[in-house]
Structure 1
């Protein structure tokens, strides 16, 4: 088993509610490298809900796959509220999904700065109807794997909150 039983149960419950409402999800992932989509697709029948996933690890991928303007990335940096919002909205625009989740962060062990330390992650959830929701987390330097898992948990939380508003 790749993921814990608790995470898989949470994902299965989420997918069940999305499926019951006829809603589909897209993911746009940088620091998690596709782990959110991986967790969701670990669940049998997830194809009813998971429309597609984008692993946009590089700035070029954020631009080419999701339409994040290069100028935006240069002005704010890939790990920023502005860019992660654009990633989520781009994933929504480039898919048939009703809800898109996006993440970008500094998972470490290196790459952090004073302004953007290891453990800083920005998450955004865009919906066809409603405003894009942003969440900033500063997990601290807990190790790459732990930061990525904590990001998955917060991404699930944003998707769960989106159900009520989608």
Structure 2
């Protein structure tokens, strides 16, 4: 779990985190994002997100499995023999502050890649925590400096 206090209300933070078409402007790690579904962000929304990781670009397809605006949503993905779950909680910390808590988990589902991910869990966990912290810093910068 990674947590960050943001100097903006829940609504603005929610908008920054769920505006998929504007995500490349908010998250510096995202190099490309393709929305695959129509309509507003919610359960069933799917997209392909490309990020630069470990010096290479990686593209993952993700989908929303739970959404309670402006408080919480869950995103899942399957890749390289693992199932990923990202849980985002936006906790009101006053009228102009929100604590964003992101919890990430990965479960090996099959294959050598999944087994390898499990064995290298600690090393991967540190890299993931660092990436999440950077994303939360980017979100804070976007909403505090530019508003949403």
TM-score of Structure 1 vs Structure 2, range by shorter chain: 0.3 to 0.5
The higher-RCO structure (CA 8 Å, 6+ apart) is: 2
- What TM-score, normalized to structure 1? 0.32
- What TM-score, normalized to structure 2? 0.35
- Bigger strand fraction: 2
